Amino acid sequence: MIEISNLSKTFTLHNQNSAEILVLENANVSVSPGECVALTGVSGAGKSTLMRMIYGNYLAASGSIKVAQVDVAIAEPREILDLRRNALGYVSQFLRVVPRVPTIDVVAEPLLQIGVDLDEARDRAAQMLQRVNLPERLWTLSPTTFSGGEQQRVNVARGFVHHYPALLLDEPTASLDGANREVVLELIEDAKERGTAIIGIFHDEAARNRVCDKFIDVAEFTPRGEAA
Amino acid sequence: MSEQAYNFAYLDEQTKRMIRRAILKGLAIPGYQVPFASREMPMPYGWGTGGVQVSAATLTPDDVFKVIDQGADDTTNAVSIRKFFEKTADVKTTTNTKAASVIQTRHRIPEDELGDDQILVYQVPIPEPLRFLEPRETETRKMHALEEYGLMHVKLYEDISKNGRIATSYAYPVKVEDRYVMDPSPIPKFDNPKMEMSAIQLFGAGREQRIYALPPYTKVVSLDFEDHPFDPSRAPHCCSICGASDSYLDEVIINDDGGRMFVCSDTDYCERRVAEGHTGVQVSGDAA
Amino acid sequence: MIPLLSVKSLSKDYGTNIGCSDVSFDLYPGEVMGIVGESGSGKSTLLNCMAGHLAPDKGEVVFDTRVDGPKDTLHMSEPERRMLSRTDWAFVHQHAREGLRMNVSAGGNVGERLMAVGSRNYADIRGKAVDWLSRVEISENRIDDRPTTFSGGMQQRLQIARNLVTSPRLVFMDEPTGGLDVSVQARLLDLLRGLVRDMGLSAIIVTHDLAVVRLLADRLMVMKDGQVVENGLTDQVLDDPQHAYSQLLVSSVLQV
């Protein structure tokens, strides 16, 4: 489902003496449907960079990133957007939304984008919010003022409301308490059951061991001599 | 002053030719505003300088000339223009609509049906029907050229939204031969249906330097909406003098108590009916 | 898939000053593209050349018309081009008063495009105007008020309603949120996002506000001195800019 080969990444800082920083080299990752792969490594090793490259957020220097037959490394913007709408979900640590949009609509939006009608999208969003235990009185409020844990659950709900065949999870349990952490892990297990290919970053070691089938240390891809 | 001091009908021959060319072009493109080099006339703008120039270019020594102002032959404007051509062109004049070969008018079409041997000359203050919504001449010309007349209906829309009906009662815009939208000059909309007639109609705007025309039997349609059709409304009264029920009426206040009467705006029509023995219901001074 | 709009080598000079130089790109149906750059970078010149408000010196602006398929709008007859700009195209000006008739009621402003394409039923026109005013969150009881009595944000929403009433396929926007209060901007952005999504609109948005493009645009084009220096997925250009100027632009934004 996700096939990464010979991937490398450099940052060129034009405004700082044109410094060139090679951060990833010869990265190879393969994820099958129903498989969950954990990216490990110390901070700064490039876990988030790799995730962002898979999502098309960072531009690859060379190599290929095939997700559901699309090579993200060379795809046109509209192909990547289409992929993001239909096949590739992303649960980030941060919530970025238009101010004043109610939580229920933030969660429903991925469904609206693929043409689900408003009522059904809101129904399904409500079910997800229920599942992540977000109090119903918050649903009509914008999540911008929520606590870290609440925002995290909105993010999770938004990421799982549509059943993407491939999913990227960046610390999905980070600011959650025990009960809610359990809900998220169940969501991940359900997704795997459905055949979703998942790549995740988990600092929560117990969670990682429970849901992941494979561990890849990103330090392997860090260029020699420059490792953190 | 000697009539010999003037060329026939005041304007010199070259000027009349220039105006006639504009008239012919106007007749060839019904409803299209033809620019012309309007001359200074010995009367102020707003007194019918455009109509006077068109009349001057149209009159021949054998013509019989009539001038009406709001339907009347005896108002200052009508009298002045009639005298002007009596003096400068030495043409016969008349107040009888049927006897006239050229009729210059301000704000009315005579009640009597005109024939194919007659010419009706309108005085026009503002020839551009789109002017109040689009102040740029460059843009209105383009709109005419490209038949972009949506704006004209915006004006009618505004009318309905404010008044519940199309309240425009004079200078009601028309579309000519399914092509040009035209301002019929400030005639009451009651007169609009009469514009499909057998006489030639010429329009002259002196200050704005435009001439336009309708050849005989030209299709002239008043703009409207499907659900707010054009209605050439008429006051629900009869003429107090001649009893006519088919003419356009002026409301005349006759005393300080608000007493009023309705009389034909077309004085010639009214007088002829009285001569034929028709009478109206005389309204007493205190009638409401 | 055929691009909805295909711009090829579009150039425009102002004497010795470059307006925009050799700009080419394809815009596909449903795509929203942002054009960013500082004042004088040529983004407005480019927008006006594409929308037919300015005559470019060279290049093509090919639009996929409903009837005849792809056609170079620069070589269309004027009536055809003006018809296009009243039907399938829309233009949202930065200053609402440039895009509105200030002496005509809100309803008349919305209805104008309908009447321009032949609507002659007052009740229909009024019904559509009411519908569109509600879609841009203007109360029905303001329908007969003139835009002069509206706030800046309302005027801008009215301008959008007036433009979208004929269901255009391509909308050009010139700094649509410029000059509005931040809170009003957010509301307008949310509204635009919803309309773009529900109507499947394609749009080209010129702005210098990176927050606006992040929220509205799928793709981003960065311009400097009349040239396109970078072109890509919006979040990629903003989060991983490649060109020196884009990096400077992104890093110059104050973080709140």
Max mean pLDDT among A161-165, C12-16, C81-85 falls in: A161-165
pLDDT of residue B283: 54
Q: What is the arithmetic mean of pLDDT over C91-116?
A: 94
Task: Say which CATH number the domain at A53 has.
Answer: 3.40.50.300
What is the rounded average pLDDT for all residues in chain B? 93
* Residue C254 pLDDT greater than 70, yes or no: no
Residues B5, B8, B13: CA angle, nearest 5 degrees = 105
Judged against a pLDDT cut of 60, whether residue B173 lies above it is answered with yes
CA distance A48 to A37: 14
Cα–chain center distance at B39: 21
Distance CA A65, CA B41 (A): 85
Q: Which long-range contacts (CB under 8 A, 24 or more apart) does C127-135 make?
A: C128/C165, C129/C165, C132/C161, C132/C164, C132/C165, C133/C106, C133/C107, C133/C158, C133/C161, C135/C161, C135/C195
The answer to whether residue B264 is catalytic is yes
How close B189 comes to chain C (CA, Å)? 20
**pLDDT value of position B288:** 39
Residue C211's pLDDT is 87
Per the CB < 8 A criterion, the answer to whether C35 and C48 are in contact is: no
Q: Which of B150, B151, B228 sits opposite C122 (nearest CB)?
A: B228
Q: Active-site residue among B26, B48, B51, B239? A: B239
Residue pair C170/C4 in contact (Cβ under 8 Å)? The answer is yes
Q: For residue C87, which of C165, C33, C7 has the smallest C-alpha distance?
A: C165
Q: Is C2 on the interface with A (CB under 8 A)?
A: no
Structurally, chain A folds into a number of domains equal to 1
3-state secondary structure C171-202: EEEECCCCCCCHHHHHHHHHHHHHHHHHHCCE
Predicted local distance difference test score (pLDDT) of residue A92: 86
Across the range C109-114, mean pLDDT stands at: 95
Q: For residues C8 and C75, is the Cβ–Cβ distance under 8 A?
A: no
* Reduced DSSP (H G I as helix, E B as strand, rest coil) percent helix, strand, coil of chain C, to 5: 40, 25, 35
Chains A and C touch (3+ CB pairs under 8 A): yes
CATH number of B3-129+177-220: 3.40.50.11310
Domain that holds residue A47: 2-225
Mean predicted confidence (pLDDT) in C3-16? 94
pLDDT of residue B2: 44
Are C169 and C28 in contact, with CB atoms under 8 Å apart?
no
- Kindly indicate the confidence band of residue B286, based on its pLDDT and cuts at 50, 70 and 90: very low
pLDDT at position C208 is 87
Question: Long-range contacts: A97-101, Cβ < 8 Å, 24+?
Answer: A97/A142, A97/A143, A97/A144, A98/C186, A98/C189, A98/C190, A98/C193, A98/C215, A99/A142, A99/A144, A99/C186, A99/C190, A100/A142, A100/C186, A100/C187, A100/C190, A101/A142, A101/C190
The pLDDT value recorded for residue A228 is: 42
Q: Average pLDDT of C126-150?
A: 95
Q: Characterize the bridge pairing of strands C58-65 and C69-72.
A: antiparallel
CA nearest neighbour of C225 among C52, C7, C23? C23
State whether B148 and C122 contact (CB < 8 Å). Answer: no
- How many whole angstroms from its chain centre is CA B276? 27
Q: What is the DSSP track for C99-144?
A: HS-TTS-HHHHHHHHHHHTT---HHHHHHHHHHHHHHTT--GGGTT
Instruction: Determine the average pLDDT of the residues in C186-210.
Output: 88
**C-beta atoms of C240 and A113 within 8 A:** no
Orientation of helix C152-164 relative to helix C182-199, angle to 10°: 10
- Residues from chain B that touch C107, judged by Cβ atoms under 8 A, are 157, 161
Contacts (Cβ under 8 Å, ≥6 apart) of C206: C34, C35, C36, C43, C44, C46, C47, C172, C173, C174, C175
pLDDT exceeds 90 at position B144: yes
Whether B26 is catalytic:
no
Q: What is the pLDDT of residue C255?
A: 63
The catalytically annotated residue of B50, B51, B71, B270 is B270
In this complex, which chains have at least 3 CB pairs below 8 Å with chain A? C
According to DSSP, residue A102 is labeled -
Helix, strand, coil % (nearest 5) of chain A?
40, 25, 35
CA-to-CA distance for C178 and C98, rounded, in angstroms?
A: 14
Q: Answer positive or negative: Cα dihedral of B33, B36, B40, B41.
A: negative
Angle at A213 between CA A210 and CA A215, to 5 degrees: 100
Q: Which residue has the tokens 């500082």?
A: C38
Give the largest Cα separation in chain A, rounded.
Answer: 55
Provide the β-strand partners of residue A181: none
Mutation for C interface: B157, B225, B228, most C CBs within 10 A: B157
Mean pLDDT, chain A cut into blocks of 10 residues (228 residues total):
92 86 90 94 87 94 92 93 94 81 93 92 96 94 90 94 95 87 94 95 91 91 64
Q: What pLDDT band is residue C140 in, cutting at 50, 70 and 90?
A: very high
Give the span between the Cα atoms of C61 and C73, in whole angstroms.
Answer: 6
Question: What six digits make up the tokens of C93?
Answer: 């000006």
Q: Kindly list the residues from chain B whose CB atom is less than 8 angstroms away from the CB atom of residue C125.
A: 157
- Kindly tell me the burial class for residue B215, based on how many C-beta atoms sit within 10 Å of its own C-beta (0-12, 13-18, 19 or more): middle
Contact A166, A86 (CB under 8 A): no
> What phi and psi values does residue B281 have, to the nearest 5 degrees?
-85, 110
| Domain C1-88+174-256: CATH architecture, name and number where available | 3-Layer(aba) Sandwich (3.40)
Q: How confident is the model at residue C256 (pLDDT cuts 50, 70, 90)?
A: low
- The domain segmentation of chain B, as residue ranges, is 3-129+177-220, 234-281
Top residue of B142, B146, B158, B231 to mutate, by most chain C CBs within 10 Å, is B158
Q: Which of C189, C233, C247 sits opposite A77 (nearest CB)?
A: C233
**Residue B72 DSSP symbol:** B
Rounded distance between C-alpha atoms, residue A26 and residue B155, angstroms: 69
> Is the separation of the CB atoms in A4 and A166 below 8 Å?
no
Assembly ipTM: 0.88
Say if CB C147 and CB C157 are below 8 A apart.
no
Annotated domain spans of chain C = 1-88+174-256, 101-167
Q: CA angle at residue A12 from A8 to A17, to 5 degrees?
A: 150
Tell me the pLDDT of chain C averaged across its residues.
Answer: 92
B126-136 confidence digits (pLDDT tens): 999 998 888 89
Active site residue B238: no
Six-digit token string for B69: 């102002």
Average pLDDT estimate for C203-216:
91
Show the beta-strand stretches assigned E in chain B: 34-35, 64-69, 92-93, 102-106, 119-123, 174-176, 180-182, 200-205, 210-214, 220-222, 249-253, 260-264
Residue in the structure block whose two tokens are 């392997």: A220
- State phi, psi for C220 to the nearest 5 degrees: -135, 140
